[in-house]
Amino acid sequence: MKTAKRVPESSPHASTPSAQEDDHPRIILLGQPNSGKSTIFNQVAGYRSITTNFPGATVEFTNSHISIDGQTCDLIDLPGVYSLTALDNAARETKRYLLEEPVSLIINVIDASLLCRSLELTLQIIEMGKPMVLCLNMIDEAERKGLTIDEARLSELLGVPVISTNAALGVRIHELFSAAFSALRSPVQPRALPMSRHVEQAVQSLTGHLLECPAVPHISPRLLAIKLLEDDPYFTVWLDHDQNGISRQVKKMQKTLEEAHGQPADSVISAERHALSMHLFEECTTLSHPQDTWHSWRVHLDRAVLHPFWGYIIMAAVLFAFFNLIFEFGALLEQPILAFFARSELWLTTLLPAGSLAFSLTRGVLQGLAGGTAIVLPYLIPFLIGMSLIEDIGYLPRIAFLMDNFMHRLGLHGTSVVPGILGYGCSVPAVMATRILPSTRDRFIAAVAAILVPCSARMTIILGLVGYYLGGTAALFVYILNLVVITLVGTVLARLMPEESPGMVLVIPSYKKPSVKTVLSKTWLRSKDFVIFAWPILIAGSLVLSLVEVFGWDQIITAVLSPLLKLLDLPPAVGMTLIFGILRKELSMIMLIQALGTTDVASVMSSTQIFVFTIFVVFYFPCLATFGILGREVGWPKAIAASLLTFSLATVLGVAARFIGPFFF
């Protein structure tokens, strides 16, 4: 397959300068969502890419330099795509990377248990004309479904090496990469399969026109011809600069196809691809009865989990148990660790004279460590383990299914619940997860909802302050209030931005047995950010606060914030903690202890004040990292609007809590 070399400078599809094109070949892992690309990546590169049992979990690239048997390459894990026609931002990014960056070889990872559907993407990748290796992953799942795949036959039909793997257990991964390196040394052109005569004629005729055109983008003309016939906007943009009558040819061919098949041209081509996949599937597979125990187990579980009544009861029970366990476990550890740091502080007074600079600084470091270790980690670690389990088992998409009806009341659909659930971990990946939503308006509303969800840092404040001092019921109330506020904000935003949501199309993956190694690796990867990056900030923040106190600068900051603090009826010392909370929300909690000069918050703040402080911190300005990512994902004006909205909400709710609190605490 020939590719035209001339690329107009103004073309959106011009290749980017190959600054990254070094001596190492670049291998891409490409496949449909949830086919196990990240699992393969982690098998060879160490655990660096978050894997989940949810379609569309990977929304950004992860790359690594790997070496196998003395051969090296750059391996890139791209977000999953169902087709080369991108419908959301994550898929658009993958497509841009594939078509505009230098790619040496593609490893097309497919879920073998969904062979027929997955081959539809394979056929499109083949049309790109790049060297490729086909990886039939989750082969165990296919066997359980009663599917036996003839690798050799499939390889013969497609003209590419085919390797079956079970990436979760690392089975045949080495063989897969050996095949990839071998294909790099002696590239074999994959075989583009012809469509039915009528459609093939249209494709070939348009390809011929494109080959004669001097300004064709730097991609395979056959792929371009097919995508133009399909009306893919990514490619049709190029037609805006067309001066060679290609648009006329495209329209003519589309009309011919529509008249002959009675369907739009994109449907005709899609049906052709489907028929070709079915043909390949039938040529290389044999079907037997699925393993009964597995099949019936899954069916029975789904019948209960997705039941219109019991499904919600199960969901409520799972989430209740989840948060309750975190609270119980966290509280169990928090007390002895806090006691240890309190003893250390006492011991410190015997070593250094109280009030000296050395004493203040050492106490600052100690309190920073106390906050990071005793208050955050006991809640963060169990939360991340629980979250990984829910994700890996495959319960998350089932929650999205159950919540679809409710989310519609907010003007969104079920998939939008995913950023919300991820938001309970960290707002940054939650905002990034909005990329899986197809409309800009849905992404904005889901992002606002996601930043309002209390992340694990805010969870430590809710559990460590309200839960610890006011009881579990009060902590639960904060969560319920948060859900009510999110619902109201979502509803209002949906009314202000009326637009028909495209609706939910969600592939529900099979249940999977979570692996201890993956759960722990994922927990480590997610908590590493806190331990490696946040601890130094916490300690430095604590030190700065000590210095501020020693030199009396806190008076200025407190004076600036005093109107807000008076409005919320909070002690003046609290003002500083709110400033630090903008850096990281955990800091609010740790700084509070530092600012008040005691780990026993109840001795200096009333129950209502603890409640007001928590409410304010939970809702006010998202942390800087979240703000940055929000600006990148939805644009700076919307990010600023969202931040102002959250600040106003926090103030209104804080004032309300100040007046209502005394009736309850």
Partner 1 sequence: MNFRFLRCARKPEASCAARLSELHTGQHGRILEIRGGWHLRQSLNQVGIHIDDVFSVERGAHLGGPILIQINSAQIALGHGMGQKIIVCLDENR
**Which residues sit at the interface with partner 1, rule CB under 8 A?**
82-83, 85, 87, 113-114, 116-117, 120, 145, 231, 263-264, 266-267, 270-271, 274-275, 278, 282, 302, 306-308, 397, 400-401, 404-405, 408, 413-414, 438, 500-508
Residue closer to partner 1, measured from CB, 48 or 144: 144
Q: Is 21 exposed, middle or buried (0-12, 13-18, 19+ CB in 10 A)?
A: middle
Residue closer to partner 1, measured from CB, 87 or 644: 87
Using CA atoms of 21, 25, 31, 35 in order, give the dihedral in degrees to the nearest 10: -130
Token pair for 469: 């001092």
What backbone phi and psi angles, to 5 degrees, belong to 605? -125, 140
Q: Considering the complex, what minimum distance in angstroms separates the CB of residue 231 from partner 1? A: 6
Q: Considering the complex, what minimum distance in angstroms separates the CB of residue 414 from partner 1? A: 6
Q: Considering the complex, what minimum distance in angstroms separates the CB of residue 282 from partner 1? A: 6
Count Cβ atoms below 10 Å from residue 46 Cβ, excluding itself. Answer: 11
Q: Considering the complex, what minimum distance in angstroms separates the CB of residue 274 from partner 1? A: 5
d(CA 417, CA 406): 10
d(CA 406, CA 414): 8
Token pair for 467: 């839960």
Residue closer to partner 1, measured from CB, 411 or 464: 411
CA distances (Å), 350 to each of 347, 359, 367, 493, 543, in order? 5, 10, 17, 57, 20
Q: Considering the complex, what minimum distance in angstroms separates the CB of residue 21 from partner 1? A: 31
Nearest to 206 by CA among 259, 257, 131, 261: 257
Token pair for 481: 């209030």
Q: Are 60 and 79 in contact (CB under 8 A)?
A: yes
Q: Considering the complex, what minimum distance in angstroms separates the CB of residue 46 from partner 1? A: 31
Residue closer to partner 1, measured from CB, 23 or 500: 500
Residue closer to partner 1, measured from CB, 87 or 237: 87
Token pair for 245: 């009558």
Q: Considering the complex, what minimum distance in angstroms separates the CB of residue 531 from partner 1? A: 37
d(CA 594, CA 544): 11
Residue closer to partner 1, measured from CB, 399 or 474: 399
d(CA 388, CA 453): 18
Q: Are 613 and 465 in contact (CB under 8 A)?
A: yes
CA distances (Å), 606 to each of 33, 613, 657, in order? 50, 11, 13
Residue closer to partner 1, measured from CB, 306 or 333: 306
Residue closer to partner 1, measured from CB, 3 or 440: 440
Q: Considering the complex, what minimum distance in angstroms separates the CB of residue 300 from partner 1? A: 12
**Exposure string over 567-602, b if 16+ CB within 10 A, otherwise e:** ebbbbbbbbbbbbbbbbbbbbbbbbbbbbbebbebe
Q: Considering the complex, what minimum distance in angstroms separates the CB of residue 452 from partner 1? A: 23
Count Cβ atoms below 10 Å from residue 349 Cβ, excluding itself. Answer: 11
Q: Are 81 and 32 in contact (CB under 8 A)?
A: yes
Q: Are 199 and 257 in contact (CB under 8 A)?
A: yes
Q: Considering the complex, what minimum distance in angstroms separates the CB of residue 402 from partner 1? A: 8
Residue closer to partner 1, measured from CB, 282 or 328: 282
d(CA 531, CA 318): 28
Longest dimension (CA), the chain: 92
Q: Considering the complex, what minimum distance in angstroms separates the CB of residue 56 from partner 1? A: 12
**602 DSSP assignment:** G
Nearest to 599 by CA among 357, 343, 354: 343
Q: Considering the complex, what minimum distance in angstroms separates the CB of residue 85 from partner 1? A: 6
The secondary structure element, H or E, covering residue 298 is: helix 292-305
Q: Are 148 and 76 in contact (CB under 8 A)?
A: no
Q: Considering the complex, what minimum distance in angstroms separates the CB of residue 451 from partner 1? A: 24
Q: Considering the complex, what minimum distance in angstroms separates the CB of residue 604 from partner 1? A: 50
Residue closer to partner 1, measured from CB, 440 or 558: 440
Residue type, 139: I
Residue closer to partner 1, measured from CB, 208 or 503: 503
Residue closer to partner 1, measured from CB, 404 or 586: 404
d(CA 421, CA 33): 19
Residue 631, classed as helix, strand or coil, is helix
Question: CA triplet 476, 482, 488: central angle to 5 degrees?
Answer: 140
Q: Is 298 exposed, middle or buried (0-12, 13-18, 19+ CB in 10 A)?
A: middle
Nearest to 455 by CA among 626, 252, 258, 290: 626
Q: Considering the complex, what minimum distance in angstroms separates the CB of residue 33 from partner 1? A: 10
Q: Considering the complex, what minimum distance in angstroms separates the CB of residue 438 from partner 1? A: 8
Residue closer to partner 1, measured from CB, 218 or 274: 274
What backbone phi and psi angles, to 5 degrees, belong to 423? -60, -25
Which residue bears the tokens 């027929």? 116
Q: Considering the complex, what minimum distance in angstroms separates the CB of residue 255 from partner 1? A: 16
Which residue bears the tokens 């302050």? 465
Q: Are 225 and 217 in contact (CB under 8 A)?
A: no
